[in-house]
Structure 1
Amino acid sequence: MDQAPNLTLLWPWALLLWPLPWILHRLLPKQSRGETLRLPENATQTSNATAPTTPWARLSGQWRFALIWTLLILATGRPVLLDRLQTLPQNSRQVMLAVDISGSMNERLDHGTRLEQVQKVVGQFVMRRQYDQVGLMVFGSHAYLYVPMTLDHQLLVEQLKALKAGMAGNGTAIGDAIGLGVRALRRGQGESVLVVLSDGVNNAGQLTPAEALNIAQEAQIRTHLVVIGLETTPDLRERIEATGGQVFHANNVRSLDSIYQQIDQLEPVTQLKTIARHAPLAQYLLLLALLLSSYWLWQRRTVRPIHQHHHQHQAQAASAQAPSEPAHLRQSNE
């Protein structure tokens, strides 16, 4: 998603430093600075009359300092102009679901068939994984890639609901389903997970579950197995766990739903990371503060000699205009 540019501070805490000079001025003991040059009133008026009328010239020294200090504080806060916010996947995950649609999935499970309950629970699982790439495989006597990896989860759920038990034959080719799932996941990017659901033992296909799980382990694809209404052999469990996956057993709808919630926790959904192009502005504030400080120093160096010369000229004029002592008084004093 995109967003209009906006101005922000990366280090807003720097604004807390703004009152520091005034706090120090009040807390630190005042030092004697000696006498300063004081211009006569008419000299000041003369100087002000010829002074430039720019806004900077009309500011007092205190306000000039406050302006420069504010620029430095804002620069310390690292102001940036954020532009074009983009949301990208982080820890991307692709999930392949392999669902058994053999004839035995027509058997009852609570208030529906096994396949009907699986369609409901797995459909909810898919819709919870909003940013995951999800694919759907079906298997019976043979295994088929039914829906390739997609972010269109609504479409996948609709295809899932359209499945009928027995569409792929009455056998159970678990090994072929795992092998086909591994091959499909190898083409994708991000972490890969294969979730196989079945209600029977492997009795069809070309690959045995052990052979297929060895392939999954080599490809570093975690494989979870959900079985309905039966137990698994210790050897199959060990091979599943060797891939990093787990074996789950469901006997009713509640346990089936709990299993897919556990898989949600074991395989966290894809997270989104928001990034933005930004243009730093601190260097411009620092440059402006430097120019104003330099101009202020230059102004003080040029104005002071003029004021001092004017003061000396006034003193000489006053001395020349002073009345001289009469001659007879000088003689009497002598």
Structure 2
Amino acid sequence: MLENISFANPEFFWLFLLLPIALLWYFFKRKEQTATLKISSIQGFNTSSILPKLKPILFLFRLLALAAIIVAMARPQTEDISTRTKTTKGIDIVMAIDVSSSMLARDLKPNRLTALKEVAADFIKKRPSDRIGIVEYAGEAFTKTPITSDKSIVLSSLKGITYGQLNDGTAIGMGLATSVNRLKESKAVSKIIILLTDGVNNSGFIEPQTAADLAIEFGIKTYTIGLGTNGNAPSPIAYNPDGSFRYGMRQVEIDEALLKDIAKVTGGKYFRATNNKKLEAIYDEINKLEKTEIEEFKYYKYEEKFRPWIYLAGILLLLEWLLRNTIFRSFV
């Protein structure tokens, strides 16, 4: 009866202390409650009846009724809580991903591009209240997915990113400018770009500094990530006869000064990911830095459960009264 029950006035449970007091009072005063008759002999009287021994059950009914009344006064009730969330500060995010041939380097496992896709997918899943878009760039740039709140579309698009869809090269300015173009009409309170590259700007007709100025003009914060180990990395250097890549050690070149400058002037932050763990940590940090403010509303519905206890107390008192005035009438 008390499962999933809370009490609105639990202070009334202190009244249970009266029950042992009443029990002690009855124990010491019970003989005074019955009139006594002194006779010289009980011969001829039937003394085998057990009713006198059962008489304390009447007092027990009263105690149980009192206990039920105390529980009712404590107001047992069930509580149904429903919640509704409202996003009060939405964030629009564009992930600009370098898909040049150097992203197939194997200093991250199994390679840079695959490692990035796995980490980025986890990041997207952690942003259920935000809109996210994807921009791919290599020697040129294009919008893979416009900003959308449908995470299944974004994840599917991310999964489909492969090398070879664009001319090779690293057009950082084009990737950043295309990302800005996706966000410039956004009405979100916060707009950010996460731009990842593993090289230096060597393609495209928009300079990275010009793209950064556009980001500043539209109030878009840019986080930049330089991807690649320090020193040399096993990277594609030529094609095999079967069309697959031939790998060899190649110097890792990342224009960190440029990436730091883009992040600084737009109000973002620069990160360097030299392995899978650091890449995961970077996206986790960005996830913590860019928090969406969510307002949660809770609705409480209470259902009073004191009535069964009142009915129980009434039944016990009625039963006590009936027994006292019928079966136990001769002995009261």
- Flag whether TM exceeds 0.5 (same fold): yes
User: 1:235, CA displacement in angstroms?
Assistant: 5.1
Percent of residue pairs bearing the same amino acid type: 28
Letter of the 2:134 partner, please give it.
Answer: L
Distance between the aligned counterparts of 1:236 and 1:256, measured in 2?
A: 16
Instruction: For residues 131-155 of structure 1, give each alpha carbon's deviation from its aligned partner in whole angstroms, at most 9, with x where no partner exists.
Output: 1111111111111111111222232
Query: Match for residue 295 of structure 2?
Result: 273
TM-score (norm: length of structure 1)? 0.56
Query: Match for residue 252 of structure 1?
Result: 275
Unaligned 5+ runs, structure 2: 1-8, 11-81, 228-251, 301-332
Query: Match for residue 96 of structure 1?
Result: 94
Letter of the 1:124 partner, please give it.
Answer: D
Moved more, 183-192 or 126-135: 183-192
Q: CA RMSD in A?
A: 4.5
Query: Match for residue 216 of structure 1?
Result: 215
Match runs of 1:138-217 below 5 Å: 138-185=136-183, 186-217=185-216
Runs of 4+ in 1 over 6 A off after TM superposition: none
Query: Match for residue 261 of structure 1?
Result: 284
Match runs of 1:107-122 below 5 Å: 107-122=105-120
Does 1 or 2 have the higher relative contact order (CA < 8 Å, sep 6+)? 2
Relative to structure 1, is the Cα distance of residues 218 and 253 closer, same or farther in structure 2, using a 3 angstrom cutoff? same
Relative to structure 1, is the Cα distance of residues 277 and 259 closer, same or farther in structure 2, using a 3 angstrom cutoff? closer
2:206 aligned counterpart, secondary structure: coil
User: 1:236, CA displacement in angstroms?
Assistant: 4.4
Instruction: For residues 291-327 of structure 1, give each alpha carbon's deviation from its aligned partner in whole angstroms, at most 9, with x where no partner exists.
Output: xxxxxxxxxxxxxxxxxxxxxxxxxxxxxxxxxxxxx
Letter of the 2:207 partner, please give it.
Answer: T
User: 1:263, CA displacement in angstroms?
Assistant: 0.9
User: 1:272, CA displacement in angstroms?
Assistant: 2.6
Distance between the aligned counterparts of 1:124 and 1:179, measured in 2?
A: 25
Residue 103 of structure 1 contacts residue 169 of structure 1 at CA under 8 Å; is this kept in 2?
A: no
Higher helix share: 1
Instruction: For residues 237-292 of structure 1, give each alpha carbon's deviation from its aligned partner in whole angstroms, at most 9, with x where no partner exists.
Output: 23421111111111111111111111112212x243234899xxxxxxxxxxxxxx
| Max Rg structure | 1
TM-score (norm: length of structure 2)? 0.56
Distance between the aligned counterparts of 1:181 and 1:98, measured in 2?
A: 7
Aligned length: 241
Distance between the aligned counterparts of 1:141 and 1:149, measured in 2?
A: 23
User: 1:221, CA displacement in angstroms?
Assistant: 0.7
User: 1:233, CA displacement in angstroms?
Assistant: 4.4
Matched, 1:225 2:224: yes
